[in-house]
């Protein structure tokens, strides 16, 4: 079946004629026993053409979803499936004409099950929240009769809290079912779908905004696609194949079961105004100059103070001016001459301080100087530069920056990422590719398909490098540098950038970098941006929603990112906020790529001023005017906290971050939080200090990744030592308690 057929198939109205069969949910806690878990009536359900659709629909139905006011017996009748999805009774939250617009307790049972079942329940759990047939478009709930779901939701949250305590086992489960190895975590955005692939769709029905796009109905109906998406996208098979081979070997061509990923992202606007659109630097931009910078390593070239000193070609200078850059940020002052001098670099600078331009400008300058071959059509492209980043949205953003700075040159940048049609990625590449921006999974797939040759690679950039090297993406990165044709580290220039660089990760980075690499630390390594006013509130699980609404009502229409721990919870909270008449959208790893992009677009343009997100949106995203970040749930690690709050207070602008600290589940963060707050000269609540004191663990920072607070280049601290971790805890090898969600 061709792509178009598939799309047509998915949006056909007849899809909603699925007859779900429910059995009583063994986890049901409803007093009336009205929470049902659907199971296939028989295996023959999948036999004919409709069975596939049924399969889709099935995965869309929340196991443990409350049927609400539906008579359980009724659920055995054939009827419009659209009434079955959603949070609870399959109503639309987007004024889609469904009748029962209310938030039901099915969600709560979803949480409950999640908290109490590790592996076995993954399947139902995934279904439980993913495939709601209703679309939460802008979440305008019209027919809100009662919020019974909220009461139960409290239970849910309580159980989430308890689950956090038991993350180890939960993650273990993921490992087993996902990839059977630490790789289960890798490819944050992409690996998710693998798991989804095995356990049915987990796609959300949250739509970006109320624009009535058909994708919303696809979202609801094409649930099976979501389930298989990962297999097609970034691909790991249960057989333990290498991901980069698996897709190449059949993911997209259909050998690995499941429908194709057909999404082709819309091309970005081509007009110059759009290409150079930018936001203003903030009042604290000049304060960057006062931040201490430390460069370590031998024979570091001196910093430059102005763009002119960089001696860039005219076109680049013109592009810099059009981008509105008049002054270098500290990380640019130090990194640009280092990269221009041909040195390898590990650079750590606070969020929002211009790291992207710090690597793009000197790379482009070199390319211009060396006179690269103009891009032209070829079946095998050999880019000079490869840039990798952990999430699709981030790599797309980096691509747009590369396109901006290379405007008017013969350098062609291309972006490829999971969740989009592989053929589209290939078509982009074969047209010419000097700078390839890619997420790891898609990159390895394309290499496997022999569309990219690595012999010409002179620059390898790892953005969010600590993330790219940890146990999630690290194996993939190692594969990349050992791919046939990839120049050795002596032959290429390797550049790593992040706002956080745990010591252990620094050590791992040594494998990728020449031994004489330079280390630039702008301010405190792993420190939070000082332009973000941080507030920590002690809020128990049961009070979080109320507090959130109170804060959001005070905030008004100012753009706010709300971070939660899990994908399900993102849907749950987004729906809740919509019911509270707060225009909200959401982004997380279970949403289809088109939905993710739509959500981001709606948030960027202010259509939805609230974006509920998992940690998939924690790193790198540069969105104008994000004034607030709310950590509804704190992340598991302090470095993730630093990245999350860094979505505001960017480029000299000020921002606010409010975090709900639940002593039940967040005590392990008290100690590093106190450090981050005091380093950023923020008020530290006395109660937090007390918790930090009472949970003090000598030699352990509270991070799952060892000591986050490497104040300097760890080569200095640990010369001659085999282990970098003073606590004797090898964080990169240890299970990372970063939730099931953050990097899925
Ligand atoms: N010299 C400059 N002058 C003006 N604006 C700049 C300058 N450098 C970067 N910017 C702008 O600052 C914003 C943040 O830059 P960027 O996204 O590169 O930050 P970052 O350090 O990579 O952040 P993060 O750690 O969150 O990834 C972008 O909008 C970028 O265009």
SS3 call for 295: strand
Please state, in angstroms and rounded to a whole number, the distance separating the CA atoms of residues 649 and 644.
Answer: 11
Strands 293-296, 518-522: pairing is antiparallel
pLDDT, position 532: 97
SS3 call for 347: strand
Low-confidence residues of the chain, pLDDT below 50? 1-257, 700-711, 718-744
Packing angle of the helix pair 567-579, 544-555 (nearest 10 deg): 60
Please state, in angstroms and rounded to a whole number, the distance separating the CA atoms of residues 115 and 121.
Answer: 10
For 617-642, write each residue's pLDDT tens digit. Answer: 999 999 999 999 999 999 999 999 99
Q: Is 97 exposed, middle or buried (0-12, 13-18, 19+ CB in 10 A)?
A: exposed
Nearest CA to ligand 1 atom 27: 620
Nearest CA to ligand 1 atom 25: 351
Nearest CA to ligand 1 atom 8: 354
Paired strand residues for 467: none
Please state, in angstroms and rounded to a whole number, the distance separating the CA atoms of residues 547 and 533.
Answer: 18
C-alpha dihedral over 166, 170, 175, 178, to 10 degrees?
-160
* Ligand 1 atom index nearest CA of 464: 27
* CA atoms within a 13 Å half-sphere pointing along the CA-CB vector of 228: 22
Residue pair 237/447 in contact (Cβ under 8 Å)? The answer is no
Nearest CA to ligand 1 atom 14: 352
Please state, in angstroms and rounded to a whole number, the distance separating the CA atoms of residues 321 and 307.
Answer: 10
Please provide the DSSP assignment of 207-257 as one string: -SSSS--HHHHHHHH-HHHHHHHHHHHT---TT---HHHHIIIIITTTSSS
Residue from 306, 332, 352 to probe ligand 1 pocket by mutation (most atoms less than 8 Å from CB)? 352
- Dihedral class, residue 471 (left if φ above 0, else alpha if ψ from -120 to 50, else beta): alpha
Q: How many CB atoms lie within 10 A of CB 43?
A: 8
pLDDT, position 698: 65
Residue from 284, 466, 651 to probe ligand 1 pocket by mutation (most atoms less than 8 Å from CB)? 651
Measured in angstroms, how far is the CA atom of residue 148 from the centroid of ligand 1? 44
Please provide the DSSP assignment of 561-600 as one string: EEE-SSHHHHHHHHHHHHHTT--EEEE-TTS-HHHHHHHH
* Ligand 1 atom index nearest CA of 328: 1
* Ligand 1 atom index nearest CA of 647: 26
Nearest CA to ligand 1 atom 4: 325
pLDDT, position 376: 80
SS3 call for 16: helix
Helix-, strand-, coil-residue percentages of the chain, each rounded to 5: 40, 10, 45
Pocket residues for ligand 1 (CB within 6 Å)? 278, 281, 324-325, 327-329, 332, 349, 351-357, 499, 620, 622, 646, 650-651
Residue pair 588/204 in contact (Cβ under 8 Å)? The answer is yes
The residues, any chain, with a CB within 8 Å of residue 5's CB and separated by 6 or more, are none
- The vertex-207 CA angle with 206 and 209, nearest 5°, equals 135
Measured in angstroms, how far is the CA atom of residue 621 from the centroid of ligand 1? 10
Q: Is 468 exposed, middle or buried (0-12, 13-18, 19+ CB in 10 A)?
A: buried
Please state, in angstroms and rounded to a whole number, the distance separating the CA atoms of residues 171 and 361.
Answer: 40
Nearest CA to ligand 1 atom 20: 352
pLDDT, position 606: 95
pTM value surpassing 0.90: no
Paired strand residues for 657: 534, 629
Measured in angstroms, how far is the CA atom of residue 428 from the centroid of ligand 1? 26
Measured in angstroms, how far is the CA atom of residue 355 from the centroid of ligand 1? 6
* Ligand 1 atom index nearest CA of 356: 18
Q: Is ipTM over 0.95?
A: yes
Please state, in angstroms and rounded to a whole number, the distance separating the CA atoms of residues 27 and 106.
Answer: 10
């Amino acid at each position: 079946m061709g792509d178009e057929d598939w799309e047509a198939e998915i949006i056909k109205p007849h899809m909603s004629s699925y007859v779900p069969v429910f059995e009583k949910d063994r986890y049901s806690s409803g007093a009336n026993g009205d929470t049902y878990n659907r199971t296939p009536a028989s295996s023959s359900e999948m036999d004919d053409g409709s069975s596939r659709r049924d399969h889709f629909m099935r995965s869309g139905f929340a196991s443990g979803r409350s049927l609400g006011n539906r008579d359980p017996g009724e659920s055995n009748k054939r009827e419009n499936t659209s009434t079955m999805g959603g949070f609870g009774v399959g109503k639309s939250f987007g004024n889609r004409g469904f009748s029962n617009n209310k938030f039901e307790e099915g969600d709560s049972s979803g949480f409950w099950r999640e908290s109490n079942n590790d592996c076995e329940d993954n399947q139902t759990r995934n279904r439980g929240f993913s495939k709601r047939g209703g679309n939460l478009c802008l979440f305008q709930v019209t027919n809100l009769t009662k919020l019974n779901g909220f009461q139960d939701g409290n239970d849910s949250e309580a159980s989430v809290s308890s689950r956090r305590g038991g993350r180890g086992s939960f993650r273990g489960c993921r490992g087993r079912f996902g990839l059977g190895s630490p790789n289960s975590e890798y490819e944050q955005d992409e690996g998710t779908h693998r798991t989804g692939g095995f356990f049915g769709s987990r796609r959300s029905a949250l739509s970006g905004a109320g624009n009535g796009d058909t994708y919303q109905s696809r979202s609801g109906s094409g649930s099976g696609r979501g389930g298989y998406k990962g297999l097609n996208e970034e691909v790991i098979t249960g057989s333990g194949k290498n991901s980069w081979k698996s897709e190449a070997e059949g993911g997209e061509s259909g050998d690995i079961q499941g429908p194709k990923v057909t999404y082709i992202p819309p091309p970005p606007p081509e007009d110059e105004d759009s290409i150079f659109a930018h936001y203003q630097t903030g009042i604290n931009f000049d304060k960057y100059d006062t931040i201490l910078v430390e460069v370590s390593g031998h024979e570091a070239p001196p910093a430059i103070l102005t763009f002119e000193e960089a001696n860039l070609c005219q076109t680049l200078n013109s592009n810099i001016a059009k981008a509105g850059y008049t002054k270098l940020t500290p990380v640019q002052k130090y990194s640009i001459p280092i990269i221009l001098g041909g040195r390898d670099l590990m650079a750590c600078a606070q969020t929002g301080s211009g790291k992207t331009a710090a690597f793009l400008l000197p790379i482009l300058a070199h390319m211009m100087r060396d006179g690269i071959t103009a891009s032209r059509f070829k079946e095998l492209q050999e880019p000079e530069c490869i840039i990798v980043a952990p999430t699709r949205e981030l790599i797309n953003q980096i691509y747009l920056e590369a396109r901006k700075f290379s405007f008017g040159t013969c350098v062609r940048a291309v972006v490829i990422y999971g969740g989009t049609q592989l053929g589209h990625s290939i078509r982009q590449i074969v047209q010419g590719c000097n700078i390839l921006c890619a997420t790891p999974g898609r990159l390895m797939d394309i290499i496997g398909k022999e569309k990219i040759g690595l012999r010409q690679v002179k620059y390898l950039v790892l953005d969010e490098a600590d993330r790219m090297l940890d146990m999630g993406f690290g194996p993939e990165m190692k594969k990349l540098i050992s791919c046939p044709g990839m120049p050795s580290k002596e032959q290429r220039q390797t550049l790593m950038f992040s706002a956080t660089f745990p010591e252990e990760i620094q050590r791992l980075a040594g494998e990728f970098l020449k031994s004489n690499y330079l280390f630039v630390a702008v301010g405190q390594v792993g420190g939070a941006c000082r332009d973000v006013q941080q507030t920590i509130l002690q809020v128990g699980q049961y009070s979080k929603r109320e507090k959130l609404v109170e804060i959001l009502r005070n905030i008004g229409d100012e753009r706010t990112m709300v971070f939660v721990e899990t994908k399900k919870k993102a849907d749950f909270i987004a729906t809740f906020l919509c019911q509270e008449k707060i225009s909200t959208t959401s982004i997380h790893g279970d949403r289809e790529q088109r939905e993710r992009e739509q959500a981001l677009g709606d948030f960027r343009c202010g259509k939805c001023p609230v974006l509920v997100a998992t940690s998939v949106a924690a790193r790198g995203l540069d969105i104008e005017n994000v004034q607030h970040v709310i950590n509804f749930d704190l992340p598991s690690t302090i470095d993730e906290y630093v990245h999350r709050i860094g979505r505001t207070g960017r480029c000299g602008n000020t921002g606010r971050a409010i975090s709900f600290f639940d002593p039940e589940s967040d005590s392990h963060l008290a100690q590093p939080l106190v450090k981050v707050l005091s380093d950023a000269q923020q008020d530290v609540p006395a109660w937090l200090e007390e918790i930090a004191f009472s949970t003090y663990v000598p030699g352990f920072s509270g991070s799952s990744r060892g000591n986050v607070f490497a104040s300097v280049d760890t080569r200095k601290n640990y010369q001659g030592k085999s282990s970098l971790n003073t606590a004797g805890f090898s964080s990169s090898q240890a299970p990372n308690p970063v939730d099931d969600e953050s990097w899925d």
